[in-house]
Structure 1
Amino acid sequence: MKKIQLSILDIGMILQGQTATEALAQTVRFVQLAEDLGYKRYWFAEHHNAGNQISPSPAILIAHTAAQTKTIRVGAGGIMLPNHSPLKVAEDFALLAAIHPGRIDLGIGRAPGTDGLTALALRRSREAVYQYDFPENLEELLHYFQRDFPTDHPFARIKFSPSPELPNIFMLGSSNGGVQFAANKGVGFAFAAHMSPDIAVPTLRHYNETFQPSNWLTAPHGIYSISIITAETEEEAYYLARPAQLFWARIFSGTPIGNFPTLEEAHAHTFTPAEESAATRMGNSMLIGTPTKIAEQLERVTKEAGVEEVMMLSFYPTIESRVNGYRLLAESMSLT
């Protein structure tokens, strides 16, 4: 087994007291820090109608941060394909790949990443909201990139990007739904263990076992994505994790989310029975502890899943704790 590679998934969370402009400026510094520490890639999620997150357009964030870094791969984790025209996604990411050759990733999601009303606003018709046409849209997207539409296909006449540079392609998954698309199409696969930890390992193993080589990849490339909070001591790590635990408990219990909790708010909060139940159910979706403990857990789970890359989703409550967590984990995993 090769040394584990570490990457970062950023959902664009705005901390309380930050402006959107300040949060975006800090994001650039996080990507630069990740590059300096030896992280492999830095991805931005797509979310809409989320007042505490500023990541509705991963392509714009990719362009902004890739222009201020040199070597780290930057990408979308992901583009929610139901919200977009396949041609527009292909054009955007072919352009990004031409601007930053060898550094752009395109992660593709099957869900809208938002609520039904916002999905309607994005897609402009109820028919588009309720129609499941992801397989056709994925096929179309890949045809653009590979420039291999059947000659009798009407879109074969579209003059796609003249640039030969293309992004790396990954399917995203948090259930059994996306894995077979990744395996059948021969593209990478990133599984969100922070959403569905109990099926992460078998799903990634299934991807490895059923993967079909393609023009994109000759061998499977799976990524295990998980929330991580680390600090010098176990006590400090759990102290820092309390806001994230409250944030996710609110999401999974259906209670109002509001802003991302501060440390003071989270530690003063008494969980409702619904929040306690949600927190218990999501217990395995976050790794909390010292860097040594986290490294041991990642070594074990990546071996079980048959992957060599972990993508870290960070919910640190302060800028300082996030910077420290990135450094500690990089050192414990010998990235540099």
Structure 2
Amino acid sequence: MTTSPSSDVLLSVLDTAPVWKGSTATDSLRNTVRLARAVDRLGYHRFWLAEHHNMTALSTSSPAVLAGQVAAATRRLRVGAGGVMLPNHPPLVAAEQFGTLAALHPGRIDLGVGRAPGTDPLTARALRRQAGPAGGTDFPAQVKELLSYFAPPGADTGRNGSDGRIPTAGPRPVPAVRAVRAVPANEHFVPVWVLGSSDYSARLAAVLGLPFAYAHHFSPHGTLAALDTYRTRFQPSPYLSEPYCLVSVFAAVADDDRRGRQLSEPLRAITAQSLRGLDPLFPSVEEAAGFELSAEERTVVDALYGAQVFGGPETARRRIAELVETTGADEVMVVSAIQDHDERVRSYELLAQVTGRVPALVAARA
């Protein structure tokens, strides 16, 4: 077992703008922009926004809009969606939105796409303006259509080419002659990622030759199987010459294990409440500490959060190292739900320090 994460593994951030009791979604969204500025200074690689709808505790309902604000407020970060739930949106609209972001922030925009609705069935129907089931059976066709709207890799200026950590393979695709063009996406290449928590998404990313982001933070027990499927079935493409994957993980890092564990209690409490069919705001650490879980809830919560990163610096270093060695991930994307903004920034700072990412990333980008 290695004692520290590989220096080749990047650290990134996934944010859901969690909403706390006594606060508002507006406060959370403004704190998201503040957090992005902080992790940009700390040397994190990318900053993605999730898509959730009609969920009281999560305020990232418009990832494209929020990504624009984050990109404008930062200097180095790659910014994008983690992701756009593509069945909720016409691929043309997603291409136009992220093509616009790429025009304004060249070389810094990503687009992760998923097939889940990111909400309940009633809200999914409202988003899609249809009465049928909220399925994702046409997701592969949607992804292919989305890809067709963007310029091929390297077709525009060097600033707008591939990620830099994601090598492209030749030959470049020839854009189809389309009656409908996504302006200005047709002038910019935006890396498209497939997001998922199952073998289905892993297979799709592999056959299309796209980078894959696995949601370890809410489906940790399928991580190894999905990544193995992705790597085994991967087919080189004009977008990617070899497999590239990241895993997302919940983390709360404090000065000692006791406080790090305390910072995880709101996540445990809100998960148990969601199992009861409730839709609460995030409770404080103090309130969460007094929340009693049933035996069944405890089993579910422990299975989920036992695979995450909560603790002091040494525990965090060890857990990240284990995650990287076990999964072989090229990148680790960290999700946090910490009420106090300064304490949340401190968590990301400690994680960057113990993994050695701050000097490596800042030096590489200077």
TM-score, reference length from structure 1: 0.93
Equivalent in the alignment of 1:87: 92
Inter-partner Cα distance in structure 1 for 2:138 and 2:339: 39
Partner-residue secondary structure (3-state), 1:129? coil
Equivalent in the alignment of 2:182: 160
Give the counterpart letter for 1:321 in structure 2.
E
1:189 matched to 2:189 = no
Question: After the TM superposition, which residues 291-330 of structure 1 pair with which residues of structure 2 at under 5 Å, given as runs?
Answer: 291-330=313-352
Matching residue within 219, 223, 230 for 1:200: 223
Equivalent in the alignment of 1:256: 278
Equivalent in the alignment of 1:215: 238
Aligned-pair CA distance for 1:159: 2.7
Inter-partner Cα distance in structure 2 for 1:18 and 1:209: 46
Q: Which runs of 5+ in 1 are unaligned?
A: none
Matching residue within 73, 77, 80 for 1:75: 80
Aligned-pair CA distance for 1:236: 1.1
Equivalent in the alignment of 1:272: 294
Residue-by-residue CA offset, 1:28-76 (whole Å, 9 max, x unaligned): 1100001000110111000000122211110000001111111101110
Aligned-pair CA distance for 1:181: 1.1
Inter-partner Cα distance in structure 2 for 1:111 and 1:66: 25
Question: Matched residues, percent identical?
Answer: 37
Q: Are the equivalent residues in 2 in contact too, given 1:183–1:211 (CA < 8 A)?
A: yes
Q: Summarize the Cα distance change of 1:245–1:274 in structure 2 as closer, same or farther, 3 Å threshold.
A: same
Equivalent in the alignment of 2:157: none
Q: Summarize the Cα distance change of 1:206–1:160 in structure 2 as closer, same or farther, 3 Å threshold.
A: same
Partner-residue secondary structure (3-state), 2:192? strand
Inter-partner Cα distance in structure 2 for 1:131 and 1:330: 37
TM-score, reference length from structure 2: 0.85
Aligned-pair CA distance for 1:208: 2.2
Q: Are the equivalent residues in 2 in contact too, given 1:226–1:313 (CA < 8 A)?
A: yes
1:282 matched to 2:304 = yes
Inter-partner Cα distance in structure 2 for 1:20 and 1:181: 34
1:117 matched to 2:117 = no
Inter-partner Cα distance in structure 1 for 2:135 and 2:67: 30
Partner-residue secondary structure (3-state), 1:282? helix
Inter-partner Cα distance in structure 1 for 2:352 and 2:199: 31
Partner-residue secondary structure (3-state), 1:108? strand
Inter-partner Cα distance in structure 2 for 1:282 and 1:131: 25
Residue-by-residue CA offset, 1:110-144 (whole Å, 9 max, x unaligned): 11111000011011112363572112211211122
Q: Are the equivalent residues in 2 in contact too, given 1:46–1:80 (CA < 8 A)?
A: yes
Inter-partner Cα distance in structure 1 for 2:58 and 2:13: 16
Partner-residue secondary structure (3-state), 2:200? coil
Equivalent in the alignment of 1:63: 68
Q: Are the equivalent residues in 1 in contact too, given 2:113–2:194 (CA < 8 A)?
A: yes
Inter-partner Cα distance in structure 1 for 2:220 and 2:318: 17
Q: Are the equivalent residues in 2 in contact too, given 1:229–1:314 (CA < 8 A)?
A: yes
Matching residue within 176, 188, 192 for 1:169: 192
Give the counterpart letter for 1:86 in structure 2.
P
Equivalent in the alignment of 2:265: 242
